[in-house]
Amino acid sequence: MAKDRTSVKLTKHAKIKIIERNITLTEIKKILTDPIMRETDKFDPLLTHYVGMIKEKFLRVIGRWLDKRSFLVVSAFYDRRLKRSKH
**Per-residue confidence in pLDDT tens, the chain, 87 aa:** 444 688 999 999 999 999 999 999 999 999 999 999 999 999 999 999 999 999 899 999 999 999 999 999 999 999 988 855 544
User: Residue 21: helix, strand or coil by DSSP?
Assistant: coil
What are the structural domains of the chain? 3-86 (3.10.450)
Give the angle 65-69-74 at the CA atoms, nearest 5°. Answer: 35
Give the angle 71-73-79 at the CA atoms, nearest 5°. Answer: 125
Positive or negative CA dihedral for 25, 7, 51, 61?
A: positive
Amino acid at 69: R
| pLDDT for res 82 | 81
Beta strands in the chain (DSSP E): 7-10, 37-40, 48-54, 57-65, 70-78
